[in-house]
Amino acid sequence: MSEQKLSMTKRRTYLVQMFYRYLLMNNDVNYIKQDILDETQEKLDVETTLIANNIAEKLSDLKKEIIKHLSANWKWDRIPTYIQSILIIGAYEIIFTPTPKAVTINELVNLVKENEVDFDYKFVNACLDKVIKL
């Protein structure tokens, strides 16, 4: 039986959850992946696992890229952890995948609207819009 691929929307949601926990608890990415598996009872596909590992390896560079585009009155530590994880996933996807930038930004803005209603989604939109594909 072949492995079922996750939809891009579901993959983004899992990756945001994974890196939210990673940033919040400062745990190993493999521990966080297992935690998500235990919680959802759904197996992450190989591609999602590879992407998670790639993001973990590039995390420092991704954060630097995002910080570079923050306005003077914003500091990384001031941004809620959930929003940080969204920005990290978005920056990775914009820089390293063929997914159209507008699609990535739109889906991640929707996650902000659904899960962080008190935070201005326009901040995420503006920040990710400044990230340039390599």
Query: Is residue 15 over pLDDT 80?
Result: yes
- Rounded Cα distance, 95 and 65, in Å: 10
Distances in Å between the Cα of 87 and the Cα atoms of 15, 73, 112 are 11, 17, 10
Stretch 75-94: mean pLDDT, rounded?
95
Stretch 83-101: mean pLDDT, rounded?
96
Name the more confident of 59 and 41: 59
Fold of 8-130: N-utilizing Substance Protein B Homolog; Chain A (1.10.940)
DSSP string, 105-127: HHHHHHHHHHH-TTS-HHHHHHH
> DSSP assignment, residue 78?
G
Q: At a CB cut-off of 8 Å and minimum separation 6, what does 117 contact?
A: none
- Rounded Cα distance, 35 and 66, in Å: 27
Dihedral sign from CA coordinates of 14, 19, 103, 123: positive
- Rounded Cα distance, 21 and 76, in Å: 17
Query: Is residue 38 over pLDDT 80?
Result: no
- Under the banding of pLDDT at 50, 70 and 90, the label for residue 49 is confident
One-letter amino acid of 30: N
Judged by DSSP in three states, 133 sits in coil
- Using an 8 Å Cβ cutoff, are 59 and 29 in contact? no
Judged by DSSP in three states, 92 sits in helix
- Under the banding of pLDDT at 50, 70 and 90, the label for residue 106 is very high
